[in-house]
Amino acid sequence: MSEDKPAQEPIVEDARIDALEARLKAAKEREEERTQSQVKGADANYRSGNRVLADLIGGILGGCVIGYAFDAIFSTVPWGLLVGLFLGIGVAFRNIIVAANKASKDSDESL
């Protein structure tokens, strides 16, 4: 084939297009930054709520299982279960209070 010039000259980039692309990129970055902080906050609240729920359920169930096992071994029916239940509730509330205090200290430091 021949080594002639191509039929069309390559299109030279216009400065306006470059400026528009730069503005679009900056706007996208600002929008991502704006929406990202909201997602993180909601996600953190969701995680802390799940942790509170897990502590509460785990403490109560753990206390009941240990109390039931104590009853089965030493045949002290219903006292082991009741004591284990109340100890589990106490441990669960203690864990929730510690987590809440830790979260409030973290939020105070970020200010």
According to the model, what pLDDT value does residue 42 have?
A: 72
Kindly report, residue by residue over 46-58, the tens digit of the pLDDT: 888 999 999 999 9
- H or E element in which residue 16 lies: helix 15-74
Chain centroid to CA 75: 44
> b or e along 65-89 (b: 16 or more beta carbons within 10 Å of the residue's beta carbon)?
ebbbebbeeeeeeeebbebbbebbe
Which residue is it, tokens 């430091």?
Answer: 109
CA pair distance 69, 9, nearest whole angstrom: 86
> What pLDDT is recorded for position 9?
66
Residue 4 has pLDDT above 80, yes or no: no
C-alpha to C-alpha distance for 99 and 105, rounded to whole angstroms: 10
pLDDT tens-digit map of 29-44: 998 888 776 556 678 8
What is the Cα–Cα distance from 100 to 104, expressed in whole angstroms?
Answer: 6
pLDDT of 10 strictly over 80: no
Q: What is the pLDDT of residue 24?
A: 95
Q: pTM of the entire structure?
A: 0.60
Amino acid 37: pLDDT: 61
Residue type at 94 in one-letter notation: R
Is the pLDDT confidence value at 106 over 80? no
Per-residue confidence (pLDDT) for residue 41, from 0 to 100? 63
Residue at token pair 């400065």: 15
Whether the CA torsion 64, 67, 73, 74 is positive or negative: it is negative
